[in-house]
Structures are given as C-alpha cells and as structure tokens.
C-alpha cells in the first residue's frame, strides 16, 4: 500500500541518495527518485515489490541478499557495502543502510532504507588494497632474493673459489686434480642453476601485469602434462582421474597453465606415499562469477600445515629432506597462478594427502 508524503518525505524525494520505506513484510511502500534510478523502476511498479527481490533483480547475489535479510529481521540497524553485478564484466557497489522504525511499544512498524552508489570509492579502495598487496609481495620477493644471494649463491661461489685455489697447487697429472675439477664444475653448475631460477622468476614478475591471455582448453593441457610424465606414473603405479568438462576453455596463458599442472603432478609423483599406490584427482568447474575452480588432489605423503603453512609457496623451501628437489616448484605454481589473476590455497594432512584449490579468473 502506498503512503502519503509529508514535508520531510517531499524533501527526501529529491535527494541524490536513494531512500525507501518498507513495510514490516519488507515490501516497498515509498521510494524517492534516487532509489528508483538504482533499481531501474518507476514508482508505480516499485510499490508493493519485495525489497530483496528488487535487490536480486538489480544484480545482488542471492546469498548476499539472504544474509542482509537475516540481519534486518534482528530489528537492529544494518549497514553494509554490497556488490552488484551490472553485467558479466562489470560490478557496482552500493552502500546500503536499513534502520527499523519502532512504535510506542517498541515494535517495528516500518523500515527506512538508504542506498548510495559507492562504485568509484570502492574502486579506489580496491586499487589501494591491490597496491598494498603488490608492495607486500615485492617486499617479500626482495627478502627471498636477498636470502638467495646470502645463502644459496654464497655456498657454490665459496666452494668454487676454495677448490680453484687448491687446483692451482696441483698439477694435472696429480691424483687429486680430476676429482677437484669435478667438484668445481658441480659448484659452477649449481651457481648457474640458481641464476637461471632467479632470471625465470624475475621474468615472470616483470610480465605479471602484461600477461596476454588466450582461450585455452584445460583438458588438453592436463593430457599433455600426463603424457609427458607417463613413464614416471607407470613406474610408481600411479593413476589419475581427470574430471574436466569436454572442451572446457578458460582465458589464460597456455605455458603458465602447463607449468602449474606439471609442477603439481611432478610433485605428487615425487612426494608420493610409500604405503600406497599414488592416486591423483584433477577437477574443474565454472564459478558463478564466471571464473574457474580448479582442484588438484593426491593421496601422497602430505604435510603438517601447522608447522609449514607459511613456507609452502616460499622459494627454496623444502619439507622432505630425504627426497631430492630444489624447492622451486610450488613457488612457480603460485607465481603463475597470480600472474593469471588467480589465487591458490592448500589443504594437506601428513600421511593422508594434499589438495590444491585454484581460483582462476
């Protein structure tokens, strides 16, 4: 039922801010021009409409709307910033406030709704958050590179220098010459490997904001990786279950996707359990927001995340000392995922297995 407008409501009708009155059943009784513009309705069509139906039709997620509804039913003021899907590529933000109007007995007789478009402000906030995250990541990377220089590079350089000094005291025909020369070569090879790792990582970081994406069939990439590691899988008796919709395509850089799947699968093979045959599951599905949810699970040796969670994706961190490795694979996986605009999470249990969950845009 419509309500008559008093002087205050007549003023409110012309405010730039969206305002509305709701009944106790949360149906629109009155709305000003600002509210009607946001919901893209005229007043006759808005009157009597359920408020949350209007929100969902405007682009508010169903779960977000239900959460707001649950809070309003507590009969207390509610203030939230809520995302609104304008289309598949664009999201707006509304600052929404709902306040109950109580009668003389303390019972709710109406709700006052205030809504403002804060998209520009929110974009600035999100840009500031991204800048902060980028600065944090760069600082973290700088710390890791400093660690590389002070630890990983120092050892092979010191070894090569020390062995070279010993070589100058020997003649080629001396029995110890060839073994020392072999150790010098090993130190130089180790040094070269580390330098290549750093160059690769810096190259990825430098191009992180300029990655050119193309449509990539995820199933094809997974099959290529499986084929390349088929011999290793057969040798360990491993099996892989791939559940990817036929012709599933996502925007990405194929080389990065290949590296992600290759490193995850090669790690699963390398760190498999000695107590059971390796089983790997690869699944993907589209998210409601239009992205991709990618799950990679194995029943391998797993990790105690209570002890190592902070270091899982850190460069040159290794958690299985009895197995040869460089500690760069998961760092590359995370770097590639972030370069594609995604995120990665890990869930692992010692002697049970590990699951990596990737959210890709």
Average pLDDT, the chain: 84
Q: Rounded to an integer, what distance in angstroms lies between the CA atom of residue 265 and that of residue 275? A: 19
Q: Which CATH number fits domain 7-117: 3.30.450.20, 1.10.3720.10, 3.90.550.10, 3.40.228.10?
A: 3.30.450.20
| Residue 261: closest CA among 203, 324, 330 | 330
Give whole-number Cα distances, 275 to 148, 191, 272, in Å.
35, 36, 9
Give whole-number Cα distances, 142 to 119, 145, 182, 292, in Å.
34, 5, 33, 31
Read off the pLDDT of each residue in 217-223 and give the average, rounded to a whole number. Answer: 94
Torsion of CA 300, 304, 305, 310, to 10 degrees: -100
**CA 326, 327, 332 angle in degrees (round to 5)?**
110
What would the pLDDT profile of 118-172 be if each residue is shown by its tens digit? 988 888 888 888 888 877 767 766 666 666 566 566 667 777 888 888 888 888 8
Q: Rounded to an integer, what distance in angstroms lies between the CA atom of residue 270 and that of residue 268? A: 6
With respect to CATH, is domain 210-361 assigned 3.40.50.880? Answer: no
- Report pTM: 0.53
Give whole-number Cα distances, 279 to 214, 288, 355, in Å.
31, 29, 12
Q: Please state the domain extents for the chain.
A: 7-117, 210-361
Q: Are strands 279-286 and 292-298 parallel, antiparallel or unpaired?
A: antiparallel
Q: Rounded to an integer, what distance in angstroms lies between the CA atom of residue 20 and that of residue 92? A: 20
Q: What single DSSP character describes residue 292?
A: E
What would the pLDDT profile of 306-334 be if each residue is shown by its tens digit? 998 888 888 777 666 666 656 678 988 99
| Residue 167: closest CA among 185, 154, 155, 189 | 185
**Helix or strand run (H / E) with residue 83:** strand 78-85
Which backbone phi and psi does 219 adopt, to 5 degrees?
-60, -40
For a pLDDT cut of 90, what percent of the chain falls above it? 39
């Amino acid at each position: 039922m419509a309500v008559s407008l008093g002087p205050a409501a007549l003023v409110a009708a012309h405010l730039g801010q969206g305002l509305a009155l709701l009944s106790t059943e949360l149906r629109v009784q009155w709305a000003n021009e600002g509210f009607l513009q946001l919901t893209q309705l005229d007043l006759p069509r808005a009157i009597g409409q359920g408020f949350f139906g209007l929100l969902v039709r405007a682009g508010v997620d169903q779960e977000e709307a239900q959460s707001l509804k649950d809070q309003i039913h507590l009969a207390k003021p509610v203030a939230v910033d809520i995302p609104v899907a304008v289309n598949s590529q664009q999201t707006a933000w509304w600052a929404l406030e709902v306040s109950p109007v109580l009668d003389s007995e303390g019972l709710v007789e109406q709700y006052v709704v205030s809504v403002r478009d804060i998209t520009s402000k929110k974009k600035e906030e999100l840009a500031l958050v991204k800048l902060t995250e980028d600065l944090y990541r760069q600082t973290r990377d700088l710390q890791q590179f400093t660690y590389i220089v002070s630890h990983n590079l120092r050892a092979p350089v010191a070894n090569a220098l020390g062995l070279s000094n010993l070589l100058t005291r020997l003649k080629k025909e001396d029995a110890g010459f060839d073994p020392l020369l072999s150790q010098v070569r090993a130190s130089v090879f180790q040094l070269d490997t580390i330098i290549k790792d750093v160059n690769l990582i810096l190259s990825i970081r430098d191009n992180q904001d300029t990655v050119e994406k193309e449509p990539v069939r995820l199933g094809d990439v997974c099959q290529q990786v499986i084929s390349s590691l088929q011999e290793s899988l057969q040798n360990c008796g491993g099996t892989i279950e791939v559940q990817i919709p036929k012709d599933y395509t996502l925007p990405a850089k194929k080389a990065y996707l290949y590296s992600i799947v290759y490193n995850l699968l090669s790690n699963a093979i390398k760190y498999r359990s000695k107590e059971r045959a390796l089983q790997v599951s690869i699944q993907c599905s589209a998210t409601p927001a239009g992205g991709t949810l990618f799950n990679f699970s194995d029943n391998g040796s797993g990790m105690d995340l209570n002890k190592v969670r902070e270091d899982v994706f850190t460069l040159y961190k290794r958690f299985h000392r009895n197995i040869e490795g460089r500690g760069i694979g998961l760092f590359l996986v995370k770097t590639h995922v972030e370069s594609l605009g995604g995120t990665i999470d890990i869930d692992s249990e010692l002697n049970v297995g590990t699951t990596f969950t990737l959210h890709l845009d």
